């Protein structure tokens, strides 16, 4: 039996190999990837975040945890594909300029992919020009913007402005998220939707496209 508490512990303490080992065991046992991510992996990242905020963990520990999280998530990604038989729509996603946090954004991307969306994941530190080019190139219907810093969240508004300037605003639904982002901030900058977790992001994406 895969010991998922060991997976939680491995991410919390940044042990990549143990995290991968337990994840592979869980995959072999057909355990639902969403359960693994929501109940164990995300919880470990939340808890290392709390430790960091309390001064009990430091940047190297965060990086190790992030690496273990990413390693385990990469193994689970293919398990989440193929649930839907046809594409739900195209999504361009990225973390905005100046911001290097990508764990939450990658979770959102994986959940969307797992639920049948085609996802173009641009990475981190993405300028409005890059977002616009990717939207045009892929004719995507949804743009997902992530920011984890209070200093970078304002850049989301610049991206929305750039959409307007490029005549794309009416064709693209904009979803925003990340720890400092809120529903009221989303409304204030003119986004179409906000969610504080990856599961709700999928529901939101579906409802925006059916609206
Ligand atoms: C891990 C981490 C790092 C790692 C990032 C590794 C990586 N590859 O991502 C490293 C060590 C690199 C890092 C660096 C820094 N960090 Co940091 N980091 C964190 C930490 C502890 C956890 C973030 C995380 O991964 N959470 C887990 C994921 C799953 O949650 P999430 O990102 O919130 O995503 C969920 C939702 O928000 C939502 N979501 C996210 N994006 C989107 C997008 C859409 C469209 C939708 C719908 C939903 C959605 O769904 C996700 C999944 O459920 C946070 C603390 C915290 N509690 O958030 C600090 C934190 C964000 N960091 C902080 C700081 C200050 C920094 C640094 C400036 C530190 C420094 N002095 O160098 C640098 C900045 C580097 C940069 N330019 O970006 C501060 C920000 C403070 C602020 N008010 O701005 C925080 C809050 C810590 C703190 N309390 O001081 N950090």
pLDDT recorded at residue 52: 83
201 Cβ inside 6 Å of ligand 1: yes
Q: How confident is the model at residue 107 (pLDDT cuts 50, 70, 90)?
A: confident
Whether residue 53 is predicted with pLDDT greater than 90 in this model: the reply is: no
| Segment 180-185 long-range contacts (CB within 8 Å, at least 24 positions apart) | 180/147, 180/148, 180/149, 180/150, 180/153, 181/147, 181/153, 181/156, 185/153
118 CA → ligand 1 middle, Å: 25
Q: Give bridge partners of residue 146 from the DSSP assignment.
A: 95, 177
Whether residue 4 is predicted with pLDDT greater than 90 in this model: the reply is: yes
192 Cβ inside 6 Å of ligand 1: no
Q: How far apart are CA 208 and CA 211, in angstroms?
A: 5
pLDDT 10s digits, 112-123: 887 788 999 999
Within 10 Å of residue 148's Cβ, how many Cβ atoms?
22
pLDDT recorded at residue 115: 75
pTM: 0.87
Q: How confident is the model at residue 141 (pLDDT cuts 50, 70, 90)?
A: very high
Select from 179, 203, 208 the residue to mutate for testing ligand 1; criterion: most ligand atoms less than 8 Å from CB.
179
pLDDT 10s digits, 157-176: 999 999 999 999 999 999 99
pLDDT recorded at residue 13: 96
Question: pLDDT over 70 for what percent of the chain?
Answer: 97
Given a contact cutoff of 8 angstroms between Cβ atoms, the answer to whether 109 and 119 are in contact is: yes
Select from 148, 200, 206 the residue to mutate for testing ligand 1; criterion: most ligand atoms less than 8 Å from CB.
148
pLDDT recorded at residue 23: 97
pLDDT 10s digits, 17-40: 999 999 999 999 999 998 998 899
Q: How far apart are CA 65 and CA 16, in angstroms?
A: 8
């Amino acid at each position: 039996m895969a010991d998922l508490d060991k997976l939680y512990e491995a991410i919390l303490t940044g042990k990549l190999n143990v995290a991968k080992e337990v994840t592979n065991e869980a995959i072999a046992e057909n355990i639902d990837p969403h359960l693994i991510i929501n109940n164990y992996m995300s919880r470990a990242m939340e808890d290392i975040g709390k430790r960091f905020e309390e001064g009990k963990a430091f940047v190297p520990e965060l990086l190790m945890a992030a690496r273990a999280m990413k390693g385990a998530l990469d193994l689970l990604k293919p398990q989440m594909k193929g649930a839907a038989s046809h594409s739900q729509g195209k999504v361009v996603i990225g973390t905005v300029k100046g911001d290097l946090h990508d764990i939450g954004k990658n979770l959102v991307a994986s959940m969307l992919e797992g639920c049948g969306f085609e996802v173009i994941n641009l990475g981190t530190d993405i300028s409005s020009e890059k977002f616009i080019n990717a939207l045009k190139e892929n004719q995507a219907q949804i743009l997902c913007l992530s920011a984890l810093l209070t200093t970078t969240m304002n850049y989301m508004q610049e991206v929305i402005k750039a959409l307007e300037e490029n005549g794309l605003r009416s064709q693209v639904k904009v979803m925003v998220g990340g720890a400092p982002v809120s529903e009221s901030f989303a409304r204030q900058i003119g986004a179409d939707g906000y969610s504080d977790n990856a599961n709700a992001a999928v529901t939101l994406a579906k409802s925006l496209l059916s609206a």
